[in-house]
């Protein structure tokens, strides 16, 4: 199932309140690998993911008031999230995540290239914070993002035309 879907089969729509369980699930899938290493029960892991998801959601609301919160859909079904903050001086990808079953199919690269095209057309840099061990880091490197700063475990990466 590594075939790249057509661009026409991929759409964005604004996040709605009823998307919260789906968004929490997407978030949880991004933490699965690291949580495999801790000796917690399923309930402890679920509680931790809930707490982290709620904290992240509140942080984004507090620090990115103009952010566009989008669900990524493939053939009308939610498969991920894109949170993007377009400001006068920068386009910042606050978060992009896809469900495991659609990762590696070229969707993320396709969507990121469109954002880079937008940056190029508007002469704006595109930025994203990435954890060093995030497997998507290789994609950002291939697309031309460069490490410009470190904030704890996060690396600020920037793309410029």
Query: CATH number of the domain that 95 lies in?
Result: 3.40.630.30
Handedness of CA 124, 125, 129, 131 (dihedral sign): positive
pLDDT value, residue 66: 94
Report the domain count for the chain. 1
Q: 44 lies in a domain? A: yes
Q: Are strands 91-98 and 126-131 parallel, antiparallel or unpaired?
A: parallel
Q: 119 lies in a domain? A: yes
Instruction: Provide the 10 A C-beta neighbour count for residue 55.
Output: 10
Q: Which domain holds residue 122?
A: 7-159
The tokens of 24 are what? 């929490």
Q: Over 90: is that where the pLDDT of 132 sits?
A: no
Q: 41 lies in a domain? A: yes
Q: Over 90: is that where the pLDDT of 148 sits?
A: yes
pTM greater than the 0.85 cutoff? yes
pLDDT value, residue 2: 59
């Amino acid at each position: 199932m590594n075939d790249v879907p057509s661009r026409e089969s991929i759409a964005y729509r604004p996040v709605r309140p009823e998307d919260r369980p789906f968004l929490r699930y997407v978030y949880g899938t991004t933490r699965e690998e690291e949580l495999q290493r801790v000796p917690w029960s399923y309930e402890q892991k679920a509680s931790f993911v809930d707490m982290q998801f709620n904290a992240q959601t509140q942080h984004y609301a507090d620090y990115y008031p103009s952010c566009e919160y989008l669900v990524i859909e493939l053939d009308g079904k939610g498969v991920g999230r894109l949170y993007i903050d377009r400001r006068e001086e920068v386009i910042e990808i606050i978060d992009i995540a896809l469900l495991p079953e659609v990762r590696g199919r070229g969707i993320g690269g396709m969507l990121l290239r469109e954002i880079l095209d937008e940056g190029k057309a508007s002469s704006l840099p595109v930025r994203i914070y990435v954890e060093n061990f995030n497997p998507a880091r290789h994609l950002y490197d291939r697309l031309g993002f460069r490490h410009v700063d470190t904030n704890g475990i996060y690396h600020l990466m920037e793309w410029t035309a």
